[in-house]
Structure 1
Amino acid sequence: MLESHDRRTILAVAGALAVGPIAGCLGDDEGSDVLGDPEYVEGRPDPGGTSMDDLPDLEGELTIYSGRSQTRVGELLEYIEDRYDDLALEVRYDDTADLVSTIEAEAETPADVFYGSESQSMTHLEEEGYLATLPEEVLESVSEDSRDPDGHWVGFTRRFRAIGYDSERFDAEELPDSIDDYATDDRFHGDVMWAPDQGSFQAFVSVFRELGGEGATREWLRTMVDEQNVQTSPGGDSAMAQAVADGEVGIALTNHYVLRDHPDSTLDLAFTSDDAGAMFNVTGGAVLADSDRGEAAANFVAHLTAAEAQEYFATTTWEYPTVDGVDPLEQLPSTDEFEPPSFDLAGLVDLEPTLDLLREEGIL
């Protein structure tokens, strides 16, 4: 980014709420739709960070490969496109892993920006030489623990592993603060659910291996299966959350954002401390090395770290912003309450030993 332009004025948390499923705060002075879920934006402080007003204008055509669904981020990308008369976005939505495979299969990818649903996809593309280095000002717009130490990608949101539990059956104070105890506590026999085919669970097991070693991880997995009779989710994190909300199981090993779809149910969240059960991962973006619009692509990535985008993420995806000065929802625990372990976020790229372990134990 070389210069700053004042094209339009974004009003922070102002104006009447627009009609629509995801409309709320941060609208512009020309009356376009505003960003954020109206049910949750009212009364929030003005977001910190850099406004889109202070970024260079976007223009031309950009192709985005998005591993985040249109339901989750489509309105934000449309909002950015609508801000600039000379911008046209071509967005391909697909599973993150499938998009990685597509890039690897293409002789020269048409993608300018890769939007990944977790860090390991971006690190994999980096290691294979597909990513360009981002400008320093883009990297420094997010917290240090949410960006690639080698400068090839930045995180847009953080998601924490969590213990989803039935608040009618358990009190948070009575739940273990160690992930190990969920394999040994008799209270949870037959009452825990996990989703081993999900990337977030596999990343959790990878961190378990990094922190505790292969032997301890294998023993934990085996105990969960053989002694705790752990249940397998029929449909990922969403199905696990629903199973807890419906009283089918008392505990789900999941991600914190599942609370988004069950804010008024008996589903609540607890957290372990300083172990793999308390790890976090990031969604994020990178610029493809083959792009002939690298500067514009990096500017687009910067727009997703801007205050308006971070406020959108906070109030619609219920994930944690990566930019200082943008608060998570008050319905979520403060990050001050978390004690995540120290681990190499970029190290999550090597999933094969984890997948081998899960297959050997008959979990996958």
Structure 2
Amino acid sequence: MDRRVVTRRATLAAIGGTAIGLTAGCLGGADDEDVLGDPEYVEGRSDPGGVSMEDLPDLSGELTVYSGRSEPRIGELMEYIESEYDEFSLEVRYDDTADLVGAIEAEAETPADVFYGSESQSMTDLKNDGYTVELSDDVLDRVDDGSKDPDGHWIGFTRRYRAIAHNTEAYDADDLPDDIFAYAEDDRFAGDVMWAPDQGSTQAFLTAMIGIHGEDETREWIEALMNEQDAEISPGGDSGLAQAVTDGEVSVGLTNHYTLADSPGETYDITFTSGDAGAMYNVTGGAVMADSDDQSTAEAFVEHLVSAEAQEYFATTTWEYPTIDGVEPIEEVPGTDEFEPPEFDLNELADPEPAQEILRDVGVPF
């Protein structure tokens, strides 16, 4: 096997106004192994724990991956894994997650060996329709219990949390409530809060709210947010929300934690609620397709994405939370000990229709 290391710094496409550069960075002392990651954030970090790619089975043959994560986000990692093995080639089709699910459903026999979902809903949909196979315990045991399908059909690569964005000139984090329901009740936020109900992540949050708190309480929260607080709807998804909070157009936004990575100014920061749907998380992840001619290699590839190197890459370049023990989130995002996410089954996020029906009833455009 050819153990080549990517040493060039690749300038990738701008995401939300921020270009992300990737390379193989050296962690710590001279004896440390080179690992993937943004050098700006890798420097000074402890060596990643978990299982190294070097200790995983070699990859050989050809695989096709349908990826709902964009090439600017993960392309360098895909190229790196392919470059590690002389007898392995990888073809990645990048597209919107929903479009890829639609393509799989339309194909008589999908050429995809692996599906890489940008959220759990898509993987659950494919599982429920019989398109995926159960992964082995060896792979499933790599990640924490909250980041994998209880039925074993998909595994999470990263976690992303809902968060409360705020303009730091208007609020300190300690000034903000850690209860998601307060944002629809506290007079301080009247006319001064923004959200993005057209985003899949927001609808997943509302779906989690229904599952955790009930449909009636979710409806009351949406009605209060829109009718009593006069919440603004972001003109440009989470990126537009981040810019509006930064510019002081609103002081508070209901969004995702990873907007911090692409935040457009120093006046933007995030905090979290605790123990409620406002602190729910979702995962990016992967599943092996039932139509794959080489399910063994497909599963081995999925396992590479929960290796120490891949998890360090995700932590330092996407600013998302690793799903394995031994790799910590970067210091620029709050530690998970600072809040308490609710316990729930990610499979429950698969059906957004009840949340969408409430949005329609309340008259919220999405």
TM-score, normalization by structure 2: 0.92
- Aligned residue number for residue 302 of structure 2: 301
What pairs up with 1:175-194 in 2 under 5 angstroms?
Answer: 175-194=176-195
3-state SS in 2 of match to 1:23: strand
Q: Does 1:218 align with 2:208?
A: no
Query: Paired residue for 2:42?
Result: 41
The ranges of structure 1 where at least 4 consecutive aligned residues each deviate by more than 6 angstroms after the TM superposition are none
Q: Deviations over 1:93-124 (max 9, x none)?
A: 11111111111111110000000011111011
Residue 35 of structure 1 deviates from its aligned partner by 1.7
Distance 2:343 2:145 in 1: 13
Inter-partner Cα distance in structure 2 for 1:361 and 1:75: 43
The gaps in structure 2 that reach 5 residues or longer are: 11-20, 28-33
Q: Residues 68 and 100 of structure 2 are in contact (CA less than 8 Å); yes or no, is this contact kept in structure 1?
A: yes
Residue aligning to 1:134: 135
Alignment match, 1:146: 147
| 1:172 corresponding residue in structure 2 | 173
Residues in 1 aligned to 2:25 and 2:84: alpha-carbon distance in whole angstroms:
15
Structure 1 range deviating more: 44-53 or 208-217 = 208-217
Contact between 2:3 and 2:85, CA under 8 Å: does it hold in 1? no
* Per-residue deviation, 1:34: 5.5
1:43 and 1:196 mapped to 2: Cα distance?
39
User: What is the aligned partner in structure 2 of residue 104 from structure 1?
Assistant: 105
Report if aligned partners of 2:49, 2:327 keep a CA contact under 8 Å in 1.
yes
- 8 A contact 2:118–2:283 mirrored in 1: yes
Q: Any conservation in 2 of the 1:10–1:26 contact (CA below 8 Å)?
A: no
Contact 1:195 1:237 in 2 (8 A): yes
Distance in 2 (alpha carbons) for counterparts of 1:323 and 1:237? 27
Q: For each residue in 1:38-68, what CA deviation from the matched residue of structure 2 results, as whole angstroms up to 9, or x when unmatched? A: 1111000000011000111111110000000
Q: Secondary structure at the match of 1:22?
A: strand
Check the 8 A contact 2:161/2:279 in 1, yes or no: yes
Q: Which letter maps to 1:230? A: A
Asked if 1 retains the 8 angstrom alpha-carbon contact of 2:4 and 2:84, the reply is no
CA distance in 2 between partners of 1:26 and 1:199 (Å): 36
The reply to whether residue 266 of structure 1 matches residue 256 of structure 2 is no
Whether the aligned pair in 2 keeps the contact of 1:18 and 1:34 (CA below 8 Å) is no
Q: Using the alignment, how far apart are the partners of 1:168 and 1:249 within structure 2?
A: 11
Q: Cα RMSD (Å) of the superposition?
A: 2.0
2:156 counterpart residue number: 155
What does residue 3 of structure 1 align with?
Answer: none
Among 19, 24, 37, the residue aligned to 2:9: 19
- Per-residue CA deviations over 1:264-298 (Å, capped at 9, x if unaligned) read 51111111111100111100000000101100000
Does 103-112 or 239-248 show the bigger shift?
239-248
Kindly report which structure 2 residues correspond to 1:195-344, keeping only aligned pairs within 5 A, or say none: 195-262=196-263, 265-344=266-345
CA–CA distance in structure 2, aligned partners of residues 275 and 231 of structure 1: 22
In structure 1, the residue matched to 2:351 is: 350
Deviation at 1:9, TM superposition (A): 6.0
Rounded to whole Å, the distance in 2 between the matches of 1:89 and 1:359 is: 42
Residues 1:10 and 1:60: Cα distance change in structure 2 (over 3 Å): closer
Q: Which amino acid aligns with 2:23?
A: A
Identity %: 63
Across the two proteins, how many residue pairs are aligned to each other? 351
Secondary structure of 1:35's match? strand
The residue that corresponds to 1:118 in the other structure is 119
Could you say which structure has the higher strand fraction?
2
SS in 2 for 1:300: helix
Partner of 1:4: none
TM-score (norm 1): 0.93
- Over 3 Å counting, the alpha-carbon distance change for 1:26 and 1:65 in structure 2 is farther
Q: Tell me, in whole angstroms, the C-alpha distance in 2 between the residues paired with 1:175 and 1:335.
A: 18
* CA deviation after TM superposition for structure 1 residue 168, in Å: 0.7
Q: Which residue of 1 is the match for residue 16 of structure 2?
A: none
CA-CA distance at 1:262 after TM superposition: 2.2
